[in-house]
Structure 1
Amino acid sequence: MTSARDAARDAAPIMIGYITLGLAAGLLLVAQGLAWWWAPVWSVVIYSGTMQMLLVPLAGAGQPLAAIAASTLFVSGRHVFYGLGFPLDRVHGRPLTRLYAIHAITDEVYALLASRDRTVMSGRYVVTVEVMSHSAWITGTTAGALAGTGLAALIGQRVELLGFVLTALFVILAIENWKAHPDLAVLLSGFVAGAVGLVVGGSAALLSALGTLAAALIALYAWRRRTTRAQAGGSAR
């Protein structure tokens, strides 16, 4: 894990996934009436797949900047902890290179790097994995946005129907998560959070739903931990 070839080999599955998902993100952006060039701009600056998906309807609806910022904190705040736990000691050189190494950490890249032996991981390997993954995401979103622009020229306002890709994406993610971790309490928490968002509506819909979900998950975790400790204490007696 020292050469660019090693990085290309390991990053290939991430790149394929990012291009595929990026196409959907680009199509969604155009379906909401935004210009295609927002796709590469957001992909470079934001580089958070889930947040970019959510930002499209938020920006399209003209939501307040404060609501968008708070939503970003809920959705992508975990990336801060990625930067704290990232093997930054392997990346040397210019400060901009090190800053980019922190910026370009995503769920998939972090999972890949965390599964490797950092003692034999070179800085070139780390940065190359990140650059290739990031480039794949930019390519996918830009291609999707350009394709959506072409479709809009052909079918006009009906391109808005492509907005279903966001709903379809999260439905698939929910199904896959249920298959991997079937947890009825978590599923019900999600339904309750969604209902709260629908009731509140307006610019506070997403924030209220995310806040409700966070509170429900924290309460569920605390209750299960207390129950586990109580059962362990009873068994010890």
Structure 2
Amino acid sequence: MVTRRDAARDAVPVVIGYITLGLAAGLLLVAEGLNWWWAPLWSVLIYSGTMQMLLVPLAGAGEPLAAIAASTLFVSGRHVFYGLGFPLDRVRGRLVTRLYAIHAITDEVYALLASRERTAMSGRYIVTVEVMSHCAWIFGTTAGALAGTGLAALVGERVELLGFVLTALFVVLAIENWRSHPDLAVLLIGFVAGAVGLAVGGSAALLSALGTLAVALIALYTWRQRAARTAGEEAR
């Protein structure tokens, strides 16, 4: 059973990525004219890198609440699919702990946990990964907001390029997942889902890609279950 020490080691890539991207998010926030304390507040309650990036110009422009809610639905609606594979059954204990485990599911945390053996993960391992990742994001956004224009001048005009660190992080997690669970069919489904997302484009790109991925994986799982059942009946 993996321990908290294992969780601390495994969470390091996510922590580094969140601190780096969090700095960019904090910089964008103060550059829009918002107070620095919005950074930790949003990071605790919203905890969605993509949505926090989008929320900055929306809030700065005074967009109506309905427009912000609709944008949140399109951008963060992908989290609905994470519940299909998240090992919540491994998290036991108080209700508040289980609720936090749900709240703290992010793209990177989900990808990291998906690359691990489900039955080998303890609830402490899962929550430790989530807490470390969440704290890194809060620290990064707050530090970026407090640093303000001084750090922005140091980084340069293209602050958003800091977000590439998460692309690199996903590549590393994908390689690690392939080493642990090599499955050509799943890999091809991933490429197809990515192509669908690129074809759709816009704010619905990610949601379309994840929807395609979920449907295709369910179909693959159903087909394999039927094939295994048929093979078992023929063997008998």
Say whether the fold is shared (TM-score over 0.5): yes
Q: Is the 8 A contact 1:31 1:163 kept in 2?
A: no
1:59-84 Cα distance to aligned partner (Å, 9 max, x none): 00001111111111111111122134
**1:148 maps to what in 2?**
148
> How big is the shift at 1:120?
1.5
Distance 1:55 1:3 in 2: 36
Q: Is 1:40 paired with 2:40?
A: yes
**1:128 maps to what in 2?**
128
Distance 1:181 1:136 in 2: 30
| CA separation of 1:186 and 1:130: change in aligned 2, threshold 3 A | closer
1:67-102 Cα distance to aligned partner (Å, 9 max, x none): 111111111111122134210110000111000001
TM-score, normalising length from structure 2?
Answer: 0.69
1:158-201 Cα distance to aligned partner (Å, 9 max, x none): 98x977534x4679989x99xx97988865754xxxxxxxxxxx
Distance 1:3 1:20 in 2: 26
What one-letter code is carried by the residue in structure 1 that aligns with 2:62?
G
**1:20 maps to what in 2?**
20
**2:63 maps to what in 1?**
63
| CA separation of 1:40 and 1:172: change in aligned 2, threshold 3 A | closer
Distance 1:76 1:39 in 2: 18
Distance 2:114 2:127 in 1: 14
| CA separation of 1:3 and 1:162: change in aligned 2, threshold 3 A | same
What one-letter code is carried by the residue in structure 1 that aligns with 2:125?
Y
- Larger displacement relative to structure 2 (75-84 or 38-47): 75-84
User: 1:1-237 maps to which residues of 2 (within 5 A)?
Assistant: 1-148=1-148, 151=150, 164-166=158-160, 168=161, 190=201, 209-210=202-203
| CA separation of 1:48 and 1:126: change in aligned 2, threshold 3 A | same
Taking only the aligned residue pairs, the percentage that are identical comes to: 71
Q: Is the 8 A contact 1:46 1:52 kept in 2?
A: yes
Q: Is the 8 A contact 2:20 2:162 kept in 1?
A: no
Taking only aligned residues, the RMSD between alpha carbons, in angstroms, comes to 3.4
What one-letter code is carried by the residue in structure 2 that aligns with 1:119?
T
Give the number of the structure whose alpha-carbon radius of gyration is greater: 1
- Larger displacement relative to structure 2 (7-16 or 75-84): 75-84
User: Unpaired runs of 5+ in structure 2?
Assistant: 171-189, 217-236
TM-score, normalising length from structure 1?
Answer: 0.68
What one-letter code is carried by the residue in structure 2 that aligns with 1:63?
E
1:9-34 Cα distance to aligned partner (Å, 9 max, x none): 00001000000000000000000000
| CA separation of 1:111 and 1:184: change in aligned 2, threshold 3 A | closer
Runs of 4+ in 1 over 6 A off after TM superposition: 170-174, 180-186
| CA separation of 1:54 and 1:9: change in aligned 2, threshold 3 A | same
Distance 1:115 1:67 in 2: 36
Q: Is the 8 A contact 1:51 1:76 kept in 2?
A: yes
What one-letter code is carried by the residue in structure 2 that aligns with 1:89?
D
| CA separation of 1:90 and 1:171: change in aligned 2, threshold 3 A | closer
| CA separation of 1:163 and 1:37: change in aligned 2, threshold 3 A | farther
What one-letter code is carried by the residue in structure 2 that aligns with 1:10?
D
